[in-house]
Amino acid sequence: MAHRIDEAYAIMQANDRGGYTIPTSRLYPYQWNWDSAFAALGFAAFDRDRAWRELETLFDAQWPNGMVPHIVFRRDDPDYFPGPSVWQSNTTPPSSGHSQPPVATSVAKWLIDSGGPDDIERARNLFPAIMRYHQWFHAARDPHETGLIAITHPWESGRDNCGDWDAAMARVPVDHGLGDYKRRDVSHVDASERPTQAQYDRYLSLVAFGQRTGWDHLEIYKTGPFLMVDPGVHFILMQADQDLLDMADTLGFSGDMKAIKSWITRYANADIQLWNSEIGTFTAMDLKSREQVPAITNASFLSLYAGAGTTDQTRQTVEHLRAIQANCKVGVPSWDPRHQDYEPQRYWRGPVWAMINYLIVLGLERCGEPELASELQAETLKMIEDAGFYEYFNSKTGEGSGGPDFTWTAAIYLAWTVGLEAQNADRKAS
């Protein structure tokens, strides 16, 4: 199993830009928010100082209001569109105008739990910035204190063209001031694996709307044309809040614990609202129409990661996972293969993503399904070993798709294989 560890190390080092990591060259030449969080997991396998620096450079780009942007433009690269001139964030460094799933908090918590005094000190220095990030999320993405965490752009979910957004995006008016623009992604990856042009028009229309507000996030929440609850962001923040509470206790930030506990309390009501009783799992919700999306994605299974729902809801969710796995060569697909709109190789409409599988494995272990967790972990590792370190993988064939030599795929491989080797060594020693 471990015969590609050296290759994974090499990818991490090749994508290192001196304190921050790019996902892959040319296709994604900047620092991405949740990519950096997963990169830190990979670096921790061989360089804990470098793991912390990945998180620290990410938070160096934090906005004055506490937001940590989804892209940090540390230099202008013509290989990527839309770049800093399109976003016009008026920040230093330039960045995009919204955020991404806050995995960084949970990675920092893991570094504390698996480390020593140096990790405690690095975490203590970073904690105030992490706390401000969570304060921003709850104020800007749940201003009515419902416990439902919204997104204002599909890109904020990290699951850009997922079918969850189709109906809501169809109602987004195309900004006729966009003019002629040239996408760069389809010059690096086959167009059949990327979002459509019609989707891109609306993505950029939402960027233009945000720009016109001066990136006023409360105004964007209130009057923007797109507002949805993404199970991915929602459950990742839910777990991150739990991890933040533990960090506050461990690091001596007791004054912040009351606020964090109040956020956690709100999720009980949110669980009730996000549960789709017709399907039997958690699905996305359009906050404008109050309609739930009638389909399952891999983000639905992150409820297990966050410990959300009742015992019966967990049972039904696990049953769906087993049924979906039975319909694929490799899983977990980003869109239910039983759905008519499933596309096994188009970005977030069917392919498998190793870092989402990593979170689902943690969820299965948490909910008392260790055998299914081990099966999914082994299947994911074999998929990577067979196909290589791609951005994502065809769920029907296991073929690698998207960008090659991808940081987060290498990082997950290292986090699992190096950890497994250490566990095996411990067993032999005992």
Distance of CA 310 to the CA centre of its chain: 24
Cβ atoms 369, 350 nearer than 8 A: no
Peptide bond into 333 cis (omega under 30): no
CA distance 411 to 405: 11
47 is catalytic: no
With the C-alpha atoms ordered 54, 55, 60, 62, is the resulting torsion angle positive or negative?
positive
Joined tokens for residue 324: 């979906």
Residue identified by tokens 């140096």 is: 118
| Alpha helices, DSSP H, located in 353-406 | 354-366, 370-387
Distance of CA 7 to the CA centre of its chain: 24
365 is catalytic: no
- Catalytic residue chosen out of the listed positions 119, 142, 156, 160: 160
- Catalytic residue chosen out of the listed positions 241, 256, 336, 391: 391
CA distance 387 to 393: 8
Q: H/E/C letters for each residue in 86-119?
A: HHCCCCCCCECCCCCCCHHHHHHHHHHHCCCHHH
The distance in angstroms from the start CA to the end CA of the chain is 22
Cβ atoms 9, 46 nearer than 8 A: yes
**Residues annotated as part of the active site:** 160, 391
